[in-house]
Amino acid sequence: MIRLDKITKIYDAKVENKKALDEVSLTIDNGEFVAIMGPSGSGKSTLLNIIGCMDSVTDGSYYVDDIEVSRLNKLDIHRFRKKNIGFVFQHFALMDYYTAYENIELPLLANNIRRKDRKINEQLKKLNIVEEKDKLPKKMSGGQQQRVAIARALVTNADIILADEPTGALDQSTGQEVINILREINNQ
């Protein structure tokens, strides 16, 4: 499903020729649940941002199924990302002045998807945050905020869910819960 072929990433060749990624190759099959591990600064976020189409490669090819994503133009990458990628961040990245419901609604609006209400309620139930529906992020615990963020990543039915240290801002047991949720979703 995902294939990286000798991906190299250099952020700024002028400053220094330091490679954030140096010919990284990786294949991930449909249905796989994969963790990328390594010390701080080793390029994990860079790799996820490339897979998530939030950043471009300096060299190498990135394919999803038969599409060479690394060759798409900006507009097509934008479309591809909206449709196929769900992203979960360490610090949740929710909109502060939007309720849980409205945060989950955003990608549906961006994708012009119908029957929004049914889809959002489905996610609220699935992630056990029905009671948080009308709350702002600051009124929720970290674990609840991350569940809203996961709901937002899932609601468009994206094939690829990426999570960059999704438990990094949570205590250990809440973090374990988030991992269990992601595993469960992957199994489904």
Residues at the contact surface with ligand ADP, assessed by CB under 6 A: 11-12, 20, 38, 40-46
Considering beta carbons, is residue 31 or 41 the nearer one to ligand ADP? Answer: 41
Looking at residue 159, the DSSP 8-state letter turns out to be: S
Q: How far is the CB of 25 from ligand ADP (least distance, A)?
A: 17
Residue 93 backbone zone (phi > 0: left; psi -120 to 50: alpha; other: beta): left
What's the gap between Cα 172 and its chain centre? Answer: 21
Instruction: Using alpha carbons, list the distances in angstroms from residue 86 to 60, 80, 102, 131.
Output: 23, 11, 16, 23
Residue 52, binding choice from ligand ADP, Mg ion, none, Cβ under 5 to 8 Å by partner class: none
Considering beta carbons, is residue 19 or 44 the nearer one to Mg ion? Answer: 44
> For residues 30-89, which are near Mg ion according to CB under 5 A?
44-45
H helices within the chain, ranges in order?
Answer: 44-51, 74-84, 100-110, 116-126, 142-154, 172-187
Instruction: Count other C-beta atoms under 10 Å from residue 61's C-beta.
Output: 15
Considering beta carbons, is residue 15 or 29 the nearer one to ligand ADP? Answer: 15
Residue 41, binding choice from ligand ADP, Mg ion, none, Cβ under 5 to 8 Å by partner class: ligand ADP
Q: How far is the CB of 97 from Mg ion (least distance, A)?
A: 27
Considering beta carbons, is residue 27 or 42 the nearer one to ligand ADP? Answer: 42
The residue to which tokens 């991906």 are assigned: 7
Q: How far is the CB of 68 from ligand ADP (least distance, A)?
A: 23
Element (H or E) spanning 169, and its range?
none
Considering beta carbons, is residue 159 or 165 the nearer one to ligand ADP? Answer: 165
How many angstroms separate the CA atoms of 188 and 144, rounded? 21
Give contact residues for Mg ion (rule: CB under 5 A).
44-45
